Structure 1
Amino acid sequence: MSILNERIKERRLALDMTLLQVAEALGVKEATVQRYESGEIKNIKHETIAQLAEIFHCPPGYLMGWEDIPLIHYDDLSNGDVLKEDTAPYISTVAAHKDDSENWTPEELKKIEEYKQLLLAARKNKK
């Protein structure tokens, strides 16, 4: 099995995702994702790798084995731009502040939930 196949499975499990959840996010069958993980499908399109990286909240280079740090973080949750990779092996704390008089937008809530999942995965991997 190649590093790509191993890292697809590693990130899926770290985020507590099922094969079906990944398949639905990609728009493919569950068996296809299983074949990505097992190495049965050897030539995964770069568009698919980019989609997987987005689903797994990691840089595509990490999935490919070109980078060693799987986590990326948002420096500014209000606009959701991914600015840089996390250089620590895990994320220790996060604070997101917003004036109470303002409502969270759906986009902000989505980014907060994604960041929460990264933190939970990091905590799980730290133990």
Structure 2
Amino acid sequence: MTASALIVHPPTRRVLLRWHPRQQGWHQIGGHADPGETDPMAVVLREGREETGLPDLRPWPDDSLVHVVTVSVVAGSGEPAHEHADLRYVLATGTPQDIRPENPEARLRWLPAEEAPWAVTEDNVRETLARTARLLDLHTTP
């Protein structure tokens, strides 16, 4: 089980994508729970802060689950190929300029919500982006 999120900046309708070197593609932020963590929202908030450096992340527009996906993970770092059940949320920031990748290989990229699907290769990420774009349509004013 993993928890992940798309990070949005609602006033500009942008989404933040992270380069995942192991998967060789642009994805949302997220990962596994640490020992003792049982709340997926707490996991995704921690992972979001670690992976982006953004201290002000918050559930957006609320803490609802947006998408549940079974994801294939390629073998690496002594792990065989396997699958994750990924619980996906949306987080927002008010300080998009403050992004800081956790390492040089994990680049971060802000894109307009309408353009982000063209940057990703996974259909399940495109679907999460589509659901997030619909939320942006409902909860932001042009």
Given the two structures, how large is their TM-score scaled by the length of structure 1? 0.29
Q: Higher relative contact order at CA 8 Å, sep ≥6: structure 1 or structure 2? A: 2
Query: Going by fraction, where is helix more abundant, 1 or 2?
Result: 1
Given the two structures, how large is their TM-score scaled by the length of structure 2? 0.27
Query: Going by fraction, where is strand more abundant, 1 or 2?
Result: 2
Structure whose alpha-carbon radius of gyration is higher: 1
